[in-house]
A and B are shown apart, each in its own frame.
Chain A
Amino acid sequence: MELLLQATVQGLLVGGAYALVALSLGLTYNVSGIINFAHGDFLTLSMFLALAMQVAFRLDPYISGVLLFPVLFVLGAGVYHFLLRPVAHRHLLMVIQLTLGITFVVQNGLLMSFGGQPMRVPSAYEASLILIGDELAIRTPQLLAFVGSLVLALLLWLVLDHTETGRRIRAVHQNPRAAALMGIDVPRLRMVIFGVGIGIQALAGVLLVPGQPVEPALGFRYTVIPLMALVMGGLTDFRGVYLGALLIGVTEALGTVYVSGTSGMMVPYGLFILVLLLRPQGLFRRA
């Protein structure tokens, strides 16, 4: 019972962090129509940049995150404008290829600069634990990651649902042509949103980095799992995506605890395949 509780809480915390990556992926996908297989690699990039700033200026990763946001925003907007926009209307295979190409460039650029050894980024709260009762221990950085991503998700929802900018973004998602006729500068909005989506990776990166060994190949995992959460949640439904990410986090944690060896790690993938086959419109949406 203790184990179940501990694993579930652990899974929820990890899932909350996945959710932020999944939401930013969903934001860029819904507005620009581009499925970005390099999304997770920008996360690794921000982790390595946080590491570099830690080594060079003794900056705590949490502070680096705020400083890195504009850097990754500009990078994301640039990648969209110069690389992705020209192929956006083409066959999906081309878009996937191009973003896989970006994956190769980022991953191996990091490998060349930092080497392949997993590295750790020290931070202030890295080793601290919060004890609840005598059976539940929560690592502080994971709680911070969960709360941070929840706050960002709420912020995102507020902007999308309750502001004029949000209305414009939704308009471009629903019908880009009509949005353009209403006087919205669609290409510019898409570029900005792509920049925001990549910029969020800077924040997600530093939220996830404490206690996480950083290596260049890490990014692929942080593309695949959020992608699964996104598809399970039904692509456009942000609450669904958030719940999908939590579900993946929990199944992963429970799978690792209750199913022996690596078979436990298969549980989320199996769940994903089942959801995609049985409820292709997403877990929480009506057909």
Chain B
Amino acid sequence: MMRPDFFQFLRSPLLWVPVILAALLPYGLSSYHLAIGTLALLYVSLALSWNIVGGMAGQISLTHSVFVGCGAIFASSLLVRLGVNLWIAMAIAAAVSAAIGVFIALVDSRFRLGHLSFALVTLAFAEIGELVVSGSEWLGGASGIDLPKDRGQFWQFQFGGGSGYFWAALVLALICLVVSQAILSSRLGYFLRAVRDNEDAAQAIGIRLFRAKAMAMAISAALSSVAGTLYARYSNFVDPSLLASPNLTIEIVLVATIGGLGTPLGPLLAALVLIPCGELLRGRFGGSLPGLHFFLYGVLIIIVVLTSPEGMVPRLFGLWKRFVAGRARSRDV
């Protein structure tokens, strides 16, 4: 099923050296910077999982806040109200998210929505999702849910202090990366790219559209949901205005697009650069200039779309290749 380059990717030092270096970071960083690193890794997971639907399959899904909210809020409610073990609650929420994702894919293929309609339908789902949360006492309503104190018990989905959550976020980001790469190197990856480039042609050569889109949606939704659960447990509190709001999706979409869609590297690097920059800006100017980092995201996305619509990372790689080729040529002469 998998192409051999997937296994090369798994064995590559380009993967493992950065991961090991990142895993050592908790020994060197202050708790403030470690928290920023954890947040960046959570956004890596969110951007990578959105990229499976938005980048590989070219489906402008604006519904991902529902999946993140499901993982954060529904799983927390299961824990707080019913005493369900959070690992199991995480799995249940991920399954529910995947089911919602499949349902949206079903709606999409049953009614053959265009890109615009798909974006709007998913946006309407996201708005409804936010209203469901803020109207339901069981889900914490608009005021959110406090999680029980973290006692560092792993079997309760508790990872102790800042380092523990950093490593957990690192593992999740790594899982998202490996899953993305696995999809890219498998038949599903080819199907998705064919669907993205020309849906009719993809169908004509025998790709079952619904199956491909539903699988992408389910995987993407489940991963987003798990990231939501981890986010909630990490911050000890679920803030519905943050985790269930369509704004979260938009932020993820913008970060992923600034990096460059399609391959995992773009969203990955963009989240690793933009989220820490945004957080540091917020730490410094948050009091006097709230929203400065979002303002700069906006400016950045406008520049990126106008100058290098393929994304920053492929663009920089292209420039680097040209630079290297140019030097090689000048040596030859």
When the two chains form their complex, are residues B107 and A100 in contact, meaning their CB atoms are under 8 A apart?
A: no
CB distance from A184 to the nearest CB of B (A): 26
When the two chains form their complex, are residues B301 and A100 in contact, meaning their CB atoms are under 8 A apart?
A: yes
When the two chains form their complex, are residues A93 and B58 in contact, meaning their CB atoms are under 8 A apart?
A: yes
CB distance from A131 to the nearest CB of B (A): 33
Interface size on B, residues (CB 8 A): 43
A102 surroundings in chain B (CB, below 8 A): 298, 302
Q: Which of B249-302 contact A (CB under 8 A)?
A: 250, 253-254, 257, 289-292, 294-295, 297-302
B116 surroundings in chain A (CB, below 8 A): 35, 92, 231
Q: Which of B83-124 contact A (CB under 8 A)?
A: 107, 110-111, 113, 115-117, 119-121, 123-124
When the two chains form their complex, are residues A104 and B115 in contact, meaning their CB atoms are under 8 A apart?
A: no
Q: Which of B288-333 contact A (CB under 8 A)?
A: 289-292, 294-295, 297-302, 305-306, 309
When the two chains form their complex, are residues A265 and B301 in contact, meaning their CB atoms are under 8 A apart?
A: no
Question: Which of A87, A90, A100, A115 has a CB less than 8 Å from the CB of B253?
Answer: A100
A266 surroundings in chain B (CB, below 8 A): 127-128, 131-132
When the two chains form their complex, are residues A112 and B302 in contact, meaning their CB atoms are under 8 A apart?
A: no
* Stretch among A154-162, A170-178, A267-275 lining the B interface: A267-275
Answer whether residue A28 sits at the interface, using C-beta atoms and an 8 A cutoff: no
Task: Specify which of A96, A224, A273 lies most central, judged by the most chain B CB atoms within 10 Å of its CB.
Answer: A96
A112 to B253, CA, bound (A): 23
A224 to B247, CA, bound (A): 13
When the two chains form their complex, are residues B117 and A231 in contact, meaning their CB atoms are under 8 A apart?
A: yes
B124 surroundings in chain A (CB, below 8 A): 224, 228, 269, 272-273
A96 surroundings in chain B (CB, below 8 A): 60, 119
Q: Given the known inter-chain contacts A104-B298, A276-B120, please indicate yes or no for A83 contacting B60, CB distance below 8 A.
A: no
When the two chains form their complex, are residues B254 and A101 in contact, meaning their CB atoms are under 8 A apart?
A: yes
When the two chains form their complex, are residues A87 and B309 in contact, meaning their CB atoms are under 8 A apart?
A: yes
Question: Which of B128, B295, B309 has a CB less than 8 Å from the CB of A109?
Answer: B295
A90 to B121, CA, bound (A): 22
Size bracket of the A interface: 35 or more
When the two chains form their complex, are residues A112 and B298 in contact, meaning their CB atoms are under 8 A apart?
A: no
Q: Given the known inter-chain contacts A87-B309, A98-B301, please indicate yes or no for A277 contacting B111, CB distance below 8 A.
A: yes
Q: Given the known inter-chain contacts A269-B128, A270-B128, A273-B125, please indicate yes or no for A108 contacting B115, CB distance below 8 A.
A: no
Interface digits, A230-274 against B, CB 8 Å rule (1 contact, 0 not)? 010000000000000000000000000000011101100110110
Q: Which of A46-95 contact B (CB under 8 A)?
A: 83, 86-87, 90-94
Q: Which of B216-251 contact A (CB under 8 A)?
A: 246-247, 250
CB distance from B103 to the nearest CB of A (A): 12
Task: Specify which of A100, A106, A216, A261 lies most central, judged by the most chain B CB atoms within 10 Å of its CB.
Answer: A100
CB-defined A-B contacts under 8 Å, sample of 7: A100-B250, A104-B295, A108-B292, A224-B127, A266-B128, A272-B124, A273-B124
